[in-house]
């Protein structure tokens, strides 16, 4: 088993739980305030992780100006995405649509990997991109409501 496998499992489970909890919160808190609470809680969680690394003797954190720049853009995307999910759920969007929505993001990442990072564009990878986009488009149909 690859060294990164369990990190992949966590990277799938926690964002999935994130959407479930966002759906539960969406009709009980406004989109901006809900998004702020989500992101502040995330920042606190990461701060605790950094403290654990620092005081646990395993500090290995480095930075560079480009790393900070791209991290800030990532944070902006996460914040805007969180607000979009709150509004989506407040407008009656179903939780069951989230996998198709996230597949659209996965297609964007796959295209970026191929175009900008020169990752191989196999037939199966391209088919996955097409199917992910098809799932997103199917959300527009009356049956997707």
Distance CA 80, CA 135 (A): 22
- Residue-wise pLDDT for 18-55, tens only, equals 999 999 999 999 999 999 999 999 999 999 999 999 99
Query: Long-range contacts made by residues 4-13, C-beta under 8 angstroms, separation at least 24?
Result: none
Average pLDDT in the chain: 94
Q: How far is CA 49 from CA 37, 59, 69, in A?
A: 18, 10, 21
pLDDT band at 144; cut points 50, 70, 90: low
Q: Is the dihedral of CA 103, 109, 110, 112 positive or negative?
A: positive
Q: What's the token pair of residue 49?
A: 């992780």
- Residue-wise pLDDT for 92-133, tens only, equals 999 999 998 999 999 999 999 999 999 999 999 999 999 999
pLDDT at position 51 is 97
**DSSP string of 21-74?**
HHHHHHTTS-HHHHHHHHHHHHHHHHHHHHHHHHHTT-------HHHHHHHHHH
Domain boundaries, the chain: 1-93, 94-145
Which residues are within 8 A (CB) of 86 and not within 5 positions of it... i.e. 6 or more apart?
22, 25, 26, 29, 30, 31, 34, 35
Q: Is the dihedral of CA 85, 89, 95, 100 positive or negative?
A: negative
pLDDT band at 139; cut points 50, 70, 90: confident
pLDDT band at 145; cut points 50, 70, 90: low
Distance CA 100, CA 64 (A): 35
- Residue-wise pLDDT for 50-89, tens only, equals 999 999 989 999 999 999 999 999 999 999 999 999 999 9
pLDDT at position 140 is 82
Percent of all residues in the chain with a pLDDT value above 90, rounded to a whole number:
90
């Amino acid at each position: 088993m690859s060294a990164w496998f369990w990190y992949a499992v966590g990277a799938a489970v926690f964002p999935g739980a994130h959407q479930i909890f966002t759906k539960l919160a969406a009709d009980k808190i406004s989109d901006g305030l809900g998004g702020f609470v989500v992101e502040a809680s995330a920042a606190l969680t990461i701060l605790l992780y950094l403290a654990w690394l620092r005081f646990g003797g395993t500090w290995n954190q480095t930075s560079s100006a480009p790393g900070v720049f791209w991290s800030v853009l990532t944070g902006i995307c996460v914040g805007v995405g969180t607000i979009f999910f709150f509004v989506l759920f407040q407008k009656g969007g179903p939780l069951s649509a989230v996998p198709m929505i996230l597949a659209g993001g996965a297609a964007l990442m796959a295209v970026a990997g191929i175009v900008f990072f020169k990752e191989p564009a196999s037939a199966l990878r391209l088919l996955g991109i097409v199917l992910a986009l098809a799932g997103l488009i199917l959300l527009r149909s009356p049956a997707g409501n």
